[in-house]
Amino acid sequence: MQAAAKKNYYEVLGVPEDASADEIKKAYRKLARQYHPDRNQGKPDAEERFKEIQEAYEVLSDEARRREYDQLRKDPFAGQGFGGFAGPGREGGARFYRTPDGTYVRVETTGAGPNADFIFNDSEFGGGDLFSQFFSERRGRRRARGGRDIESVLRLSFEDALRGGQREITLPNGETVRLKIPEGVRSGFKIRLKGKGEPGPDGHNGDLYVVFEVEPHPRFRREGDDLIVTERISAIEAMLGTERRITNAYGKTIKVRIPPGTQPGHTLRLRGQGVKTPKGAGDLLVTIEVTVPDLLSEEAREELKAWATKHGLYHHS
């Protein structure tokens, strides 16, 4: 029988064998996005590639399993309870190994060290692709092959997202669960519900990721945890200065002084009046929009002209 196929998980993820945990995670996320079945519907090759990527990450992201895998790649029988002895007349070129079920497998080696080829021969003693069989069984005991992860969108009003709290939702399979919505949650945030995804071939379910989609507000625009609002004042108010009462997104009214000479587009920052989250609160940014009256009486226009001319603000040719 041909040599055992030693799957190279490092090549699957495109990382070197000394890659750090962060490098492995980064490579996995990039490949998982590229080959995810939802983005490659009707492409069975992409789905198989995705499964291969998942399998590689499951091993290499676990420190103990990665160490075990690296050892198995160097020596498929190291520390696994296989009793070995040299074959007669082979000068060490062939060895017989006792497998856990009591049978023996003859192994002929070519080369030396971790790059040696292992040729399994079961014509006399039974056996087979020991490396792949053994490692698959070990992996199977650690984590059963589960179903696909799925995503579901939960739409929230702007106000509900600010408040957070408990929400009862119906899952794609019809099951009803209570979900805790974080205070100040933003669009795109995900919550993982373990085991609520699609069932797998062995009865183990994948996970469900609930993605929040927050409806826009007619007055406030959100950037991070800051909120932006526009306040209109007249040109005269911009020149002389004025005051406004601004109501934030939580219904609190704040008195704001707009200084004389305020220019269009100027922004006032009200600290701590933005979105509240468990980590703190953002700011409320008040952008000033200056409006110019377009309906002035003739008397008002003449008075304004006289005043502007007196102070050097109006030059009529």
**Mind listing the pLDDT tens digit of every residue in the chain (317 residues)?**
223 235 789 999 999 999 999 999 999 888 988 888 777 777 878 888 888 888 888 889 888 888 888 887 776 555 444 433 333 333 344 444 444 444 444 444 444 444 444 333 333 333 334 344 434 434 434 444 568 888 888 899 999 999 999 988 887 777 888 889 999 999 999 998 888 888 888 778 888 888 999 999 999 999 999 999 999 999 999 999 999 999 999 999 999 999 999 999 999 999 999 999 999 999 999 999 999 988 888 998 888 889 888 888 887 76
- CATH 1.25.40.10 given to domain 9-142: no
Side chain identity at residue 297, one-letter code: S
CATH number for the segment(s) 221-291: 2.60.260.20
Tokens of 95: 């060895």
pLDDT of residue 317: 60
Cα separation, 194 vs 204, in Å, equals 11
pLDDT of residue 59: 87
Task: Answer whether 9-142 and 150-214 agree in fold.
Answer: no
pLDDT of residue 76: 53
Cα separation, 45 vs 42, in Å, equals 9
Cα separation, 278 vs 297, in Å, equals 54
Short-list 241, 4, 10, 2, CA closest to 130: 4
* Cα atoms in the 13 Å half-sphere on the side-chain side of 228: 11
Cα separation, 27 vs 13, in Å, equals 6
pLDDT tens, 261-281? Answer: 999 999 999 999 999 999 999
pLDDT of residue 295: 84
Q: Where are the domains of the chain?
A: 9-142, 150-214, 221-291
pLDDT tens, 162-186? Answer: 999 998 888 777 788 888 999 999 9
Bridge partners, 166 (sequence order): 180
pLDDT of residue 102: 43
**φ and ψ at 64, to 5 degrees?**
-70, -45
User: Count of CB atoms within 10 A of residue 231's CB?
Assistant: 13
Length of the chain: 317
CATH number for the segment(s) 150-214: 2.60.260.20
